[in-house]
Structure formats: structure tokens, C-alpha cells
């Protein structure tokens, strides 16, 4: 089982790595594109200037302007060649004399090659093309600037990653170290080492919890010491009483009274131990409350990160969208873990209010299937419902029942590679039974005893086949218990799994719904007989009665 510290650190580390990869891949390419755009603009301006200058000389049959234009262009260290042709593509001037060129590019404008850029511009005289000027410049300086930018970005990214990892390590250590110390101290006390205390390192919630824990440990140790002292005293008194009984039969009545007094004092001592146990339970609830507050503190920045990442995912180019998708995926996974921890903490601290009202189970099942059908379709798994009794009503909380159904159906789809997932609803005496069946990988018998324990997962580690926090089935079990029901699983490795939820049946509400459905069908038949219009669609009136009720 992975610790909270490991999960928080791993999630934050993956986010930082994703951001680093995005920065390293995106910004150097952007800078190269900017350099290349400026380079091409400069080349286009040079070519058009040369075409204008050479054209003025050709119009007057003065080739000296071509030499001046060549001398001006030769100042550029990146210049590879200049070619000047007439209207028949015959070369009338070039630099250098041994330049290698291709006249087929004259009418193609701007051409970008691997090591150079070529730009051709027509020589216009009296709005007629009298020739072409083609200029080629090397991309050496652009490539050099791009490499320097990529190197600087890479170093900056690694620096940011290192600082971020240090910050994540410090934050996770600060948050989880006090909880780990409390866990170790509680284990020592449970083994009888009542002198164990926790060091108070801060004044925040964990520091307050540590202080309360130390006070509880002091109370337990005092009670234990007093109990041992009383036991020793009563043992000595009992020994003296027994000796007196042997020596003098007349002291029997007095010894009996002393024994009764000792029994009363032992009863008081047992009551003290119960009080200490209640104090330990209160400490556990306080721990859940602190964990609840910490989950909120992590959720706020994580929500901001997810919002920015989802916005950037739509804006970046296609070749970079995969990195943003990875950031969003891991951010959502971390959010799901935090939500599960928060829900479990609310249940354990008894702050979660669960209602008790009649709910038609078939409606809840159909809503859950509708919300998860895209996920099932994506995995290629058939998802259907077998509603043997659509009027079955259960006494439950609507939100809690939706969460239970969503979690069980989602798990069934997740662990089913091919086949189907079936949700069956039926009535059994005073209960409504919901079966979620799948044809997935199944569960090993050795793991069934730990199935509903917090953070329990059959395959552990970062390389496990299916992701998850290990809290889903724990929440299902706790919510079903709060609604007065029960849940169990039947499975064999490789043969699929069936989760069976039993809830208290609301019989009176079922009878009311049946009566309303019958009235709806009677009204439908009456309207069909009295009018010439088409009959009312089947199932219309029951829906109307259901909505009005």
C-alpha cells in the first residue's frame, strides 16, 4: 500500500515533468519560427531591392547597377549566391562565379531548404517581366540561434524542475511527517508502551492534533498507573484478608466486606478505562477532521492547475497536445484521489449527512448507466440493465445511492476487457436487491477478505494495469451501511465478479406507484376511445403521474 506522501509526490512530480517537456518542446520551436520569419522577410526585402536596382540598369542597358547591387549584397555573411537572368532564363550575372544554382525555382518565390532559403523575384519593366533575380542565404545563423535557445530553455527547465521537486518534497514531508509520527505513537500505545509521546513541531492543525494526542496519552498512562496501584493495593489487602481468615474464622464477615469494596473500586477502574477508550475514539475523529481540511488545501491549487492545463490543451499545436493531455490526465487522477480521501474522512468523522427517503431504484440505475455508457462504448464493453421490477422502491439517500451505483458500474467496466456488464434489480421479501455483474478478470480469493479495506488493491505499484486510489469500494461499503443496507462480492479469478447490494424496501411507496400507473393506463385507454386522434404513446400517463406526484 502506497502512502499519502508517495501519492502526492508522484502526482506532483508527473505534473512537473509534463510541464518541463512542454516548455522544452514548445518554446524553442516558437523562437526558431520567429527567427526564420524575420530571416525570410529580410531575404525577401533584399531580393526585391536587387530586382528593382538591376531592373533600372537593364532598362537603360547599364550593367554597372548590377555590379553595385552585387557589392551591396556581398556584405551579408550568410549570402550563398545571386543569380540574375533575362526573360528567357539566360544568366546575365551571378555571384560568385562558381555558384551552384537551379533555374527551376525562379518562379516559385520563397523556398526553404534544410540549410538555406532561396527567394526569387521578377524584374519588372513597364509592367512586363524582363528577368529574374534569385538570392540564396544560409540558415547557419538561424540554426545556431535556435540551438542556443534550446540549450538555454533546457537548462532553465531542469533548474525549475529541480526547484519544484525540492518544494514538493518539503511540502509533502511537512504534511505527512506529523501524521506518520502519530500513527507510530498510536501503535506503540496499543502495544502497552504508554510513555510514548509525539513532538509538537508546529501550531497548525497537525500540531493541535499532536497536543491532544499527548494529553490523551497522559490520561491513559495515569489511568493505567492508578489501576496498577489499586490492583497492587487490593492484592495486598486480599492477601492479608486471606491470612486473617486462616488465623481467625471470626474475621470472615470483615473479609467479605473488604472484598466487595475492592470489587467496587475495580469497577470504577474499568469505567476509567472505558473513558480512556472513548478519548482514543475522539482522537481518531479529530484525525479525520484534520485530514479533511488538508484535502481542501490540496484541492484548491490543483483545481487551478487543471483549469490552466485544459485551456492550454485546446490552444497548443497538435504535436504538443499529448503533453497537455498527460498533465490533465494525471491532475484528474490526483483530484479523484483527494475527493475519495475527503469523502472517506467525512464518513469516518460522522459529518456526512445521509437522508432516508423512498427512491425508485430503476430510475437511479438508468441514470447511472446513461452517464457511464460513453466509457463502456470506449472500452468496447456492452452495458445493459435487467429491471425485473421497475416499481421497486428502496429507503435510501439519492446522492449516496447514485455514488454507490456509479462506483460499482464504473469498476465493472474498468476491469472488463471484453464482454458485458449487467445491472439487475429485483425484489426479495422486505429488500430491494441490486446485482452488478461483469465478465471481467475477477478477484482472487486471497484478496476477498481485504476487498472493502481502505487503499486495498490487488495489484500494487506504479506499473499496475488499472489505475485507482483503492478507496472506491471502501466508500461503497460505508455508504450502504449508512443507508441501512449491506454489500458483498462473489467472484473467482478469471470468471467475472458480482456485487450484490441489499437495501430496505419501501413497500407503501411501491403500492402507490402501482396505483398511479394503473390510473394512467385507464386514462390512456379512455382518451383513445373518445377521440379520432392517434392513441397516446404507451407509458405517457405513468410518466405524467410520476412527475406530478
Domain match, 28 and 134 both: yes
Query: Which three-class secondary structure state does DSSP give residue 450?
Result: coil
Domain count along the chain:
4
Please report, for the domain that includes residue 370, its CATH number.
3.30.565.10
Pairing of strands 382-387, 420-428: parallel
Domain match, 141 and 55 both: yes
Q: Is residue 8 part of a domain?
A: yes
Q: Is residue 19 part of a domain?
A: yes
CB 227, CB 262: distance < 8 Å: no
Domain match, 331 and 384 both: no
CB 408, CB 488: distance < 8 Å: no
Domain match, 459 and 533 both: no
What domain range is 447 assigned to? 357-505
Q: Is residue 389 part of a domain?
A: yes
CB 398, CB 359: distance < 8 Å: yes
Domain match, 35 and 71 both: yes
Whole-number Å distance between alpha carbons of 499 and 488:
6
Query: Residue 526 class from Cβ within 10 Å (0-12 exposed, 13-18 middle, 19+ buried)?
Result: exposed
Domain match, 39 and 141 both: yes
Give this prediction's pTM: 0.43
Domain match, 396 and 489 both: yes
Domain match, 26 and 68 both: yes
Domain match, 333 and 363 both: no
Domain match, 13 and 118 both: yes
Q: Is residue 240 part of a domain?
A: yes
Whole-number Å distance between alpha carbons of 294 and 5:
13
Whole-number Å distance between alpha carbons of 119 and 46:
9
Q: For 517-521, which contacts have Cβ atoms below 8 Å and span 24 or more sequence positions?
A: 517/391, 517/542, 517/545, 519/545, 520/544, 520/545
Which residue in 290, 332, 27, 24 sits closest to 176, CA to CA? 290
Taking only the tens of pLDDT, the chain with its 549 residues reads: 566 667 767 777 787 777 777 776 777 777 778 877 887 888 788 888 888 877 776 666 666 777 777 777 778 888 888 888 877 777 888 888 777 777 777 777 787 777 788 888 888 877 788 788 888 888 877 788 778 877 878 888 788 878 877 887 777 777 777 777 777 888 888 888 878 887 777 777 777 887 888 888 888 888 888 888 889 888 888 888 888 777 777 667 777 888 888 888 888 888 888 888 888 677 766 766 666 666 667 777 778 777 877 787 777 767 777 777 788 777 777 777 777 676 666 666 666 667 788 888 999 999 999 999 999 999 899 999 998 878 888 989 998 899 999 999 998 998 898 889 999 999 888 899 999 999 988 888 877 778 777 776 666 544 455 555 667 888 888 898 988 999 998 888 878 899 999 999 888 777 777 677 667 656 656 555 554 444 444 443 334 333 333
Domain match, 340 and 364 both: no
Domain match, 212 and 332 both: yes
Q: Is residue 182 part of a domain?
A: no
Amino acid at each position: 500500500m502506497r502512502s499519502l506522501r508517495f501519492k502526492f509526490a508522484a502526482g506532483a512530480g508527473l505534473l512537473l515533468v509534463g510541464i518541463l517537456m512542454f516548455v522544452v518542446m514548445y518554446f524553442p520551436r516558437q523562437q526558431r519560427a520567429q527567427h526564420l520569419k524575420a530571416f525570410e522577410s529580410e531575404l525577401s526585402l533584399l531580393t526585391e531591392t536587387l530586382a528593382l536596382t538591376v531592373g533600372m540598369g537593364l532598362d537603360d542597358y547599364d550593367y554597372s547597377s548590377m555590379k553595385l547591387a552585387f557589392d551591396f549584397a556581398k556584405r551579408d555573411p550568410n549570402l550563398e549566391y545571386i543569380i540574375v537572368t533575362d526573360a528567357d532564363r539566360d544568366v546575365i550575372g551571378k555571384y560568385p562565379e562558381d555558384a551552384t544554382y537551379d533555374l527551376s525555382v525562379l518562379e516559385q518565390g520563397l523556398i526553404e531548404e534544410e540549410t538555406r532559403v532561396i527567394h526569387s523575384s521578377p524584374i519588372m519593366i513597364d509592367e512586363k517581366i524582363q528577368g529574374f533575380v534569385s538570392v540564396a542565404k544560409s540558415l547557419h545563423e538561424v540554426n545556431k540561434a535556435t540551438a542556443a535557445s534550446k540549450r538555454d530553455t533546457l537548462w532553465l527547465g531542469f533548474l525549475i524542475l529541480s526547484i519544484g521537486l525540492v518544494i514538493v518534497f518539503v511540502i509533502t514531508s511537512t504534511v505527512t511527517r506529523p501524521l506518520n509520527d502519530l500513527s507510530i505513537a498510536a501503535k506503540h500505545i496499543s502495544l502497552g508502551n504508554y510513555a510514548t509521546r509525539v513532538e509538537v513541531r508546529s501550531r497548525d492543525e497537525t500540531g493541535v492534533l499532536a497536543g491532544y494526542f499527548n494529553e490523551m496519552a497522559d490520561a491513559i498512562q495515569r489511568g493505567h498507573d492508578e489501576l496498577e496501584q489499586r490492583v497492587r493495593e487490593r492484592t495486598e489487602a486480599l492477601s492479608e484478608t486471606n491470612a486473617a481468615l486462616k488465623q481467625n474464622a471470626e474475621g470472615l464477615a470483615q473479609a467479605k466486606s473488604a472484598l466487595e469494596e475492592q470489587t467496587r473500586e475495580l469497577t470504577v477502574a474499568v469505567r476509567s478505562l472505558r473513558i480512556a477508550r472513548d478519548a482514543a475514539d475522539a482522537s481518531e475523529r479529530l484525525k479525520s477532521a484534520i485530514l479533511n481540511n488538508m484535502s481542501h488545501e490540496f484541492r484548491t491549487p490543483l483545481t487551478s492547475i487543471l483549469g490552466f492545463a485544459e485551456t492550454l490543451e485546446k490552444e497548443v499545436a497538435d504535436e504538443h497536445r499529448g503533453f497537455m493531455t498527460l498533465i490533465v490526465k494525471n491532475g484528474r487522477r490526483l483530484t479523484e484521489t483527494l475527493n475519495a480521501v475527503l469523502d472517506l474522512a467525512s464518513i469516518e468523522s460522522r459529518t456526512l449527512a445521509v437522508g432516508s427517503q423512498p427512491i425508485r431504484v430503476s430510475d437511479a440505475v438508468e441514470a447511472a448507466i446513461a452517464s457511464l455508457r460513453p466509457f463502456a462504448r470506449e472500452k468496447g464493453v456492452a452495458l445493459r440493465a435487467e429491471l425485473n421490477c421497475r416499481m421497486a422502491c428502496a429507503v435510501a439517500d439519492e446522492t449516496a445511492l447514485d455514488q454507490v451505483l456509479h462506483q460499482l458500474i464504473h469498476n465493472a467496466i474498468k476491469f472488463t476487457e471484453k464482454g458485458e456488464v449487467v445491472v439487475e434489480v429485483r425484489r426479495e421479501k422486505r429488500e430491494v436487491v441490486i446485482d452488478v455483474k461483469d465478465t471481467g478478470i475477477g478477484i482472487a480469493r486471497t484478496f476477498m477478505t481485504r476487498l472493502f479495506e481502505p487503499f486495498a488493491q490487488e495489484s500494487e505499484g506504479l506499473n499496475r494495469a488499472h489505475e485507482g486510489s483503492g478507496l472506491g469500494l471502501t466508500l461503497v461499503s460505508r455508504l450502504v451501511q449508512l443507508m441501512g443496507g449491506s454489500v458483498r462480492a462473489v467472484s473467482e479469478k478469471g470468471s467475472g465478479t458480482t456485487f450484490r447490494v441489499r437495501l430496505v424496501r419501501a413497500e407503501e411507496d411501491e403500492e402507490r406507484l402501482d396505483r398511479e400507473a394503473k390510473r394512467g393506463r385507464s386514462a390512456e385507454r379512455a382518451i383513445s376511445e373518445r377521440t379520432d386522434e392517434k392513441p397516446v404513446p404507451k407509458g405517457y400517463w405513468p410518466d405524467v403521474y410520476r412527475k406530478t406526484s
